[in-house]
Amino acid sequence: MKHYRQDHFHHPHHRQELTLNNALTDPLVRTMMAADGVDPQELRTMLREIVATLNHAQLQPRNQGSLLATNCG
């Protein structure tokens, strides 16, 4: 059995986060999106809107004493 050094498998971008642009331009991702009928520009726009909403929500002060009740029907 051949043994490899630990750093043999190290990739220089191993710990970098996948960016939205990298994901949406990846050939495999593009192929899957096309097969599923996903419009890349619509998905990019939707994801950017979600990020903006989440960023905005993080900046809002939170009331520690209140509870938000949803699906409590």
Q: 67: burial class by Cβ within 10 Å (0-12, 13-18, 19+)?
A: exposed
User: Is the residue at 71 inside a domain?
Assistant: no
User: Is the residue at 41 inside a domain?
Assistant: yes
Structural domain harbouring 38: 18-55
Q: CA–CA separation, 70 vs 73, rounded Å?
A: 8
The H or E element that residue 44 is part of is helix 40-59
Query: Tens digit of pLDDT for each residue in 29-66?
Result: 999 999 999 999 999 999 999 999 998 888 877 665 55
Q: How many structural domains does the chain have?
A: 1
User: Is the residue at 2 inside a domain?
Assistant: no
User: Is the residue at 7 inside a domain?
Assistant: no
User: Is the residue at 47 inside a domain?
Assistant: yes
Query: Which of the two residues, 21 and 28, has the higher pLDDT score?
Result: 28
| Residue 2 pLDDT > 60 | no
User: Is the residue at 36 inside a domain?
Assistant: yes
CA torsion, points 46, 47, 52, 53, in degrees to nearest 10? Answer: 70
User: Is the residue at 49 inside a domain?
Assistant: yes
User: Is the residue at 66 inside a domain?
Assistant: no
